[in-house]
Structure 1
Amino acid sequence: MNVRVFTSESEAAAACATLVSNAVREKPSLVLGLPTGRTPLNVYRELVALHQRGQLDFSRVTSFNLDEFLGLPPDDPGSFRAYMERHLFQHVNLSAERIHFLDGSAERAEQECARYDAQLAAAGGMDLLLLGIGPNGHVAFNEPDESLQALSHRARLSRETRQAVASFFGDDVSKVPLAALTLGMSALLQARRVILLAFGVGKAAAVTAMARGPITPRWPASFLQLHGNVEVWVDAEAGRGLDGSR
């Protein structure tokens, strides 16, 4: 696990966008795993800027988002699909047929999860996966538990996680769905390259536990220690518990 400490979140976001651009240039048919939340917003702004300058062509890229709130249709303003439309999809030339998303409004969650896993397998898995991390160590919506699930599944969201995403629901935790559909740990660990981004002191404990603590389902991100090609990109505050980051 390679840790890189940046002087600022904006510096890390620009570097991440450049990395994505270079990866697409090397492999125009790149399969890209995309997160949501506050952490990747600056990355998406940088990717849009590169595309608008003619430096990034998404026309052959395939994307898979990591999760979606259960019960929300794609056009719901609080859905992650709507988030991606606002911040990335509307502004770049990703082909609609190459955009993949879990459908939170599907009548049968288990069948929807199986469908999504099959689509990802048919695409050959993710070449490059961008990840955030929750304050409680969750990745995608794989929450701390006694054990973790390998495949896509319905996940009950912890109160801590619901509080972290309440800003997307008018800062009203009661409006945040109680559950979500998410890729499982197998898909994340099988991605060929992983870039995990974390910023701010609120992520410091999770980053330290992920990179330096024992591998445990109580900190799902700690399983990334088993991956052979993970880069952890943090600012000084998020990396304050790591050796050499002070």
Structure 2
Amino acid sequence: MELMIESSYDALSESAARLVETALARKSDALICLPTGHTPLGLFRKLTESPKAPERWRGATVVALDEYLGVRPEQPHSLIGWLRRELLDGLEIGNDRLLRVDPVHPEPSAACAALDREIEERGGIELTVLGLGPNGHIGFNEPGTAADSATRVVRLAEASIASNAAYWKARGGYEPEYGLTLGMGTILRHSKTIALLVSGAHKADIFQQFLRQSPSPAIPATLLKQASRLIVLADEAAAGKSEIRQTEDR
């Protein structure tokens, strides 16, 4: 595990953008997996601010980490719709260069399995960018998720439902109960490099748990320590003070 402590959220976002751009320079037709949520917004701004960004991404394909089950992209609470507004449109990435599970597919389990096969057939994901959930979840891989779990339909944990409900309160009070997510096994098996982004003082406690604990389904993020290459980027607000420095030195 490579640990990078950045002075600010902006610095974290800049470092994450460099990782993405390096992956694209290494493989112009790369699969890049990207998350949703607040943490990657700074990264998305960095990626789209250059007028040459669409050209840089011309051969690449984005893999969507997660989505709510049964939600169409045009609905206001669609994560894919959000990703399109925040990033994909700015990079001029159409649906032909977006890999995801269709959230309204009549057989969602079959659609999940098909996505895993396509990722494998295309040689895997060059870079997977992830955020650390408040209960240690990755995507919608909630506590208790097995390390070999495939892409699948999941019932969201109460903490995730509450967090999502708070976010969507001003958008009609949507309270999702089920989601679709790349599995931990899919992420670990098919990602050449994983970048975990952690930002904000509200993530300090779970980040310390992540650092201290051995890989365990109880905190799905710890399973990432089994990856072939894991880069953890945290800002100082999330990293805290003395304990993180001791961890860095080991």
> Normalized against structure 1, the TM-score is what?
0.92
Aligned residue in 2 for 1:87: 86
Tell me the number of residue pairs that the alignment of Structure 1 and Structure 2 aligns: 245
- Deviation, 1:103, is 1.6
Q: Which residue identity does 1:128 align to in structure 2? A: L
- The answer (yes or no) to whether the contact 2:153–2:178 under 8 Å persists in 1 is yes
1:194-233 to 2 correspondences below 5 Å: 194-233=194-233
User: Per the alignment, in what secondary structure is the counterpart of residue 13 of structure 1?
Assistant: helix
Q: Is 227-236 or 143-152 further displaced after alignment?
A: 143-152
After superposition, the C-alpha distances for 1:150-200 in whole angstroms (9 at most, x for unaligned) are: 211111111211222335413589622101011111121121101100111
User: By percentage of residues, which structure has more helix?
Assistant: 2
Alignment gaps of 5+ in structure 1: none
**1:7 corresponds to:** 7
Match of 1:160 in 2: 159
How do 1:65-104 residues align onto structure 2 when only pairs under 5 Å count? 65-104=64-103
Secondary structure of 2:232's counterpart equals strand
Gap change, CA 1:146 and 1:121, over 3 Å in 2: closer
Letter in 2 for 1:189: L
Work out the CA distance in 2 between the residues paired with 1:40 and 1:26. 22
Given the superposition, is the C-alpha separation of residues 56 and 206 from structure 1 closer, same or farther in structure 2, using an over 3 Å criterion?
Answer: farther
Q: Structure 1: how far apart are the matches of 2:174 and 2:99?
A: 25
C-alpha change, 1:225 and 1:54, in structure 2 (3 Å) is closer
Report % sequence identity.
Answer: 28
Query: What displacement does 1:106 show?
Result: 1.6
**Matched ranges for 1:109-120 at <5 A:** 109-120=108-119
Instruction: State how far apart, in whole Å, the 2-side matches of 1:173 and 1:129 are.
Output: 31
Q: For each residue in 1:219-244, what CA deviation from the matched residue of structure 2 results, as whole angstroms up to 9, or x when unmatched?
A: 01111111131111011121125244
CA distance in 2, matches of 1:194, 1:34: 10
Query: Does the Cα contact within 8 Å between 1:210 and 1:224 map onto a contact in 2?
Result: no
Structure 2, unpaired ranges of 5+: none
Residue 234 of structure 2 aligns to a residue whose secondary structure is: strand
